[in-house]
Structure 1
């Protein structure tokens, strides 16, 4: 299996960060270990946390046929909040996994196992990020605030999931797609069928992309006893990925239909084009899935930012027609 670089870089860069990332190039040296704890050098996770917020807000605007300046703040606030909470969640993950990470080639250069940061420093950094995100959260409607607080539960559980279940990717889906609920509530101050169906679609999407990602670590995970859907599915992974792809797109399409059911037929058709186009991108990813090539696995995984953004222009156009 093709492995990523295992030799420590002089500046402490981790193995799976892009070589030209802004943290390693421009951030002050004292801040780099903490920014690496937050995965600021690997922004794909922030996008994957942020995109469901944008989906939900877009569908809420389509459903209510109204938008305001508050929605502009929701876009910005969810983006900043996604960066902060992804950072806090990853810091928590590195604290709980510090003994495991040192035994895995892809993660052994992370700040705590490599000695760049202490556990105490990581805890302080995690709390600081969480508090900053909370101050953004309280600017939203009460329902969104409650949802934002409850979101800490799946975030706290996720790092331990790979110790007790073969489905840790499902727990990641519960945490990473919470924005589907929060984004809707930030516009409507309520919860209903649309965000719930959208949330389930996002979980299936996460099972798709994170199973691809987890295939990078199957050999090391087997040696240290860490569970994952990649190890569970093994040679049947392609079949399971196809199923997750189908479930994600069907549920996403259903959420769109529920949200845009009162709009014109043309508007509904345009909106449905969003999940349809995303489905073709995921089909392309499945065609490029190669469990024996780590570099390719990482590239395919990172392409999910683009996959998640594809529906948004369709939703914007549907609002205008």
Structure 2
């Protein structure tokens, strides 16, 4: 996300954490691939997965039988498939990103140790790894209903376009928003076989949510991004960022409320949504956009905001 990637180690020059489970449990030959897929930094997987949960939950409500045993077992199967799918496809996205950015990464101490930039993984080996990840993703997609196949395949265009967006627009966060929230559509289609106005509204809400959280994330990298020529909404907005965040998060809550209303959900859904709104308000109030650690904490807290929204839909 933005010009760098998720959860960098703010205590040193490198953005790769050391001494974690990757170093303790994996063979040495596997470690560069685990780091390339960001398996040790799960927040990106969460942010890709949560809109999938929104779509699944909306679909679960739409079929009108959330208490029946057969639909419940099917929902559990879909939750497992989307969990694995989010993990694999987030890794594939990171591989694409690092292939595009390998020369830029070599110019910055913070990113020079990334597996491709450092030479721990060759571009050819990374392409093979990418093919394996995409093959697993395809195998998971084929476990879904046929209407989901085209929807799932279409997002690959956005996955491959995102790294280029950082070079040609001040708003790569918009491309990321279109990409990371695709699961709201795919999850709903996996349950119902179609796309509804409620799922489209949830997808639009996720788009503005991503504009908010990834703009906050980009503020921790703004100096580095300016040096290497990477563009971002943080650099474009500058001191106008907090008013923009108010707008992004207001649209997120408003579009989600419209989604809940269209889905004819009950008052508990709106109560959960109100809690998410308070979470967003606190993000804007407490985050010092000139403090990279504060930006990272706020960025990661969006996992909780996304879970609140998923819970709101389930309780509806």
In 1, Cα distance between the equivalents of 2:315 and 2:19? 35
Q: State the match for 1:94 in structure 2.
A: 98
In the aligned structure 2, how far is the partner of 1:25 from the partner of 1:282? Answer: 36
Residue number in structure 2 paired with 1:280:
278
State the alpha-carbon separation in 2 of the partners of residues 65 and 21 from structure 1.
Answer: 44
Paired position in structure 2 for 1:197: 201
The residue that corresponds to 1:162 in the other structure is: 166
Maintained 8 Å contact 2:53/2:187: yes
Report how far residue 105 of structure 1 moved: 4.2
CA distance in 1, matches of 2:170, 2:242: 17
The separation in 2 between residues aligned to 1:233 and 1:190, in whole angstroms, is 37
- 8 Å contact 1:24–1:41 — kept in the other structure? no
* SS in structure 1 of the partner of residue 115 of structure 2: coil
SS at 2:118's partner residue?
A: coil
Report SS of the residue matched to 2:116.
coil
TM-superposition CA deviations, 1:147-177 (whole Å, max 9, x none): 1111101001001001111000000011100
**TM-score, structure 2 as length reference:** 0.92
- 2:48 corresponds in structure 1 to 49
Give the secondary structure class of the aligned counterpart of 2:108. coil
Give the corresponding residue for 2:33.
34
Alignment of 1:303 onto 2:301: yes
Task: Structure 1: give runs of 5+ residues left out of the alignment.
Answer: 8-13
Match of 2:63 in 1: 64
On the 8 A contact 2:105/2:117 being kept in 1, the answer is yes
Between the aligned partners of 2:103 and 2:155, the Cα distance in structure 1 is 26
Q: Distance in 2 between matches of 1:246 and 1:152?
A: 29
Q: Is residue 144–residue 189 contact of structure 1 (8 Å, CA) maintained in 2?
A: yes
In the alignment, is residue 221 of structure 1 matched against residue 225 of structure 2?
A: yes
Give the 3-state SS of the residue equivalent to 1:227 in structure 2: coil
Report how far residue 242 of structure 1 moved: 1.1
Deviation at 1:296, TM superposition (A): 1.5
Paired with 2:176 and 2:87, the residues of 1 have a C-alpha distance of 16
Contact 2:50 2:310 (8 Å CA) reproduced? no
- Following TM superposition, by how much is the alpha carbon of 1:20 offset from its aligned partner in structure 2, in angstroms? 6.1
Is it true that 1:178 corresponds to 2:182 in the alignment? yes
What whole-Å deviation, never above 9, does each CA across 1:195-236 have from its counterpart, x for those lacking one? 111111001000000001111111121122211000000111
Which segments of structure 1 move beyond 6 Å, counting only runs of 4 or more?
Answer: none
Deviations 1:70-108 (A, max 9, x none): 211110000100000000011010001101122234322
Q: Mind listing any 5+ residue stretches in structure 2 that lack a counterpart?
A: 1-8
Range with greater deviation from structure 2 (72-81 or 110-119) = 110-119
CA contact (8 A) 1:55 1:312 kept: yes
Question: 2-side partners of 1:74 and 1:134: how far apart?
Answer: 15
In structure 1, what is the Cα distance between the partners aligned to 2:271 and 2:107? 44
Cα distance in 1 between the residues matched to 2:272 and 2:111: 35
Distance 1:272 1:178 in 2: 23
CA RMSD of aligned residues (A): 1.6
> Is 1:250 the equivalent of 2:249?
no
CA displacement at 1:246 relative to structure 2: 0.5
Specify whether residues 63 and 99 from structure 1 end up closer, same or farther in structure 2 by C-alpha distance, changes over 3 A only.
same
CA contact under 8 A between 1:104 and 1:217: conserved in structure 2?
no
In the superposition, relative to structure 1, how do residues 315 and 196 fare at CA in structure 2: closer, same or farther (>3 Å)?
A: closer
Q: Report if aligned partners of 1:163, 1:226 keep a CA contact under 8 Å in 2.
A: yes
